[in-house]
Amino acid sequence: MKSPEARARQPDFRYSPDQRKYSKLNPFSPLELKILQATHDGLTGRQIAISFGVSAKSLTLSRRRIKEKMLERFGVSESQLSIEETIRVAVELGIRNGLIEPKNNKSS
């Protein structure tokens, strides 16, 4: 078992009341939403793994689960989309549903 100090250092990826409200519309867990948001913000897989304090392998598994959920929900065959394309589509859906913050496009 982990010590209370170790548990306190880990990010909390449980569902909040607001996230539970969207759970029927949204197939993604809080961790998967954070991965999608970080991907949308331009972080690489390695940067996401480091910032979340997880291994690259567990991040790859989460990205694979995102892809599986997208394939299951929209009936797209696995050969049609790469993981990156699937995540891009998932990010767009998350933005449309208000679960992911859109990027602020600043013109210079």
Q: Between these two residues, 74 and 15, which has the higher pLDDT value?
A: 74
Task: Tell me the one-letter amino acid at 39.
Answer: T
pLDDT at 107: 46
CA-CA distance, 9 to 14, in Å (whole number)?
Answer: 14
Structural domains of the chain, ranges and CATH numbers in brackets = 27-96 (1.10.10)
Nearest to 96 by CA among 23, 11, 26: 26
* Structural element, H or E, at residue 6: helix 4-9
pLDDT digits (tens, 9 = 90+) for 2-26: 566 655 555 555 555 555 555 555 6
Question: Does position 83 have pLDDT exceeding 60, yes or no?
Answer: yes
Burial of 12 (0-12, 13-18, 19+ CB in 10 A): exposed
